[in-house]
A = this chain, B = another copy of it.
Amino acid sequence: MTAEASPPVRPAVRLPVALDAMGGDHGLTPNVQGAVQAAQAGVSVLLVGDRVKLHAELGQHAGSSRLPIEVVDAPDVIGMDEHASDVRSRTGASINVCTRLVKEGKAAAAVSMGHSGATMASALLTLGRIKGVDRPAILTHMPAQGGFTTLLDAGANADIKAVYLAQWARLATVYLKVLEDRDNPTVGLLSIGEEDHKGSQLVIEAHGLLRELHGRGINFYGNVEGRDIFKSTTDIVVTDGFTGNVVLKLAEGEARVLLGWVKEALNSNLKSKLGGLLARDALRGLAERMDPSTYGASILLGVRGLAFIGHGSADARAVKNALLRAARAHEANLVERLEAAFAQAG
């Protein structure tokens, strides 16, 4: 189910992936390290950012000069505390350089662990929207009983219309078919009761739209509740970007606190400490199962090009997995297949 377990990227990647190498809480170090790992796995990378610093960092990795990595200079970077709207005027910002490379057909995808809002804005401004999609949404994978549950919108749109939810259901369905080989993925509408008539006005309206689309490109299951996300009741859960973002951050926060409590419990006395030592390897597998860096980054779905948005706290493994995922989406012609699905739906 993880990026690593999926079929390997075909050796001849047609275009390199552009990485906003200046973005993220930890600066360029994990970005460059992740790029080196991805390149070793066969993915070509354009490292976009301060040319001098990037070359210096690359120099730390022995043998990196023989890898398919190129540095593309970008004189500016949107800081984590700056405004997303700054992308409009700061054409030299690394994220803008990345999305322009995609627009111009020089890069397969733009990947950034930096300012999420700026990445969204830059992708939307530079790449535009797929015809039939009113608002792009952030699609993310959450660890769940059945492997993962695909959730969108994870935070791009706080205030929405019911019709967006129907569009997102279609986008996510194609995404799972193309990238995860899911045959007829089920769509759940996040609500506060399984009955059709329960929920907010927005959800009740969306329920009607999704019901109509059932069997026409969407396999609509019905309403799902918060508990269904971890139960893997459906492959996809659609919701507004406010609820989706709360869900995502709550789930991460709860996992962190609960695993902390497990560790605390195992350290509470000598007997439990010994037990913890014996069970250490098994529990380590559990922590990995919960680790968001397995998926690397979330995709901004609905723009006319590939854009991936990662955690500011991303480590090299997350960067690498994001780059592999981006290359796979490109190889699978994801954007073209999304466009075709919307053209068909009329």
Contacts and interface: CB of A to CB of B under 8 A. Distances in A.
Interface of A: 144-145, 155, 158-159, 190-192, 199-201, 203, 225-231, 239, 241-243, 245-262, 265-266, 268-269, 271-272, 274-283, 285-286, 289-290
Given A275-B276, A282-B265, A282-B268, A254 B257 contact: no
Contacts of A145: 257, 260
Given A226-B251, A275-B274, A275-B276, A262 B283 contact: yes
A226 to B, nearest CB: 3
B274 A252 contact: no
Nearest to A227: B253
B199 A158 contact: yes
Contact of A286 (B158, B242, B265, B279): B265
Contacts of A279: 265-266, 271-272, 275-276, 279
A279 to B, nearest CB: 3
6 contacts: A228-B253, A229-B254, A262-B283, A265-B283, A266-B283, A274-B275
Contacts of A155: 192
Contacts of A231: 253, 257
Given A246-B246, A262-B286, 18 more contacts: A155-B192, A159-B201, A226-B246, A226-B249, A227-B250, A227-B252, A231-B257, A243-B246, A247-B250, A254-B258, A255-B258, A261-B286, A262-B262, A265-B279, A265-B286, A269-B282, A272-B282, A275-B279
Contact of A227 (B159, B249, B280): B249
A230 B257 contact: yes
Contacts of A159: 200-201
A255 B190 CA distance: 19
Contacts of A261: 286, 289
Nearest to A257: B230
Nearest to A274: B278
B271 A192 contact: no
A290 B261 CA distance: 10
Contacts of A258: 254-255, 258-259, 290
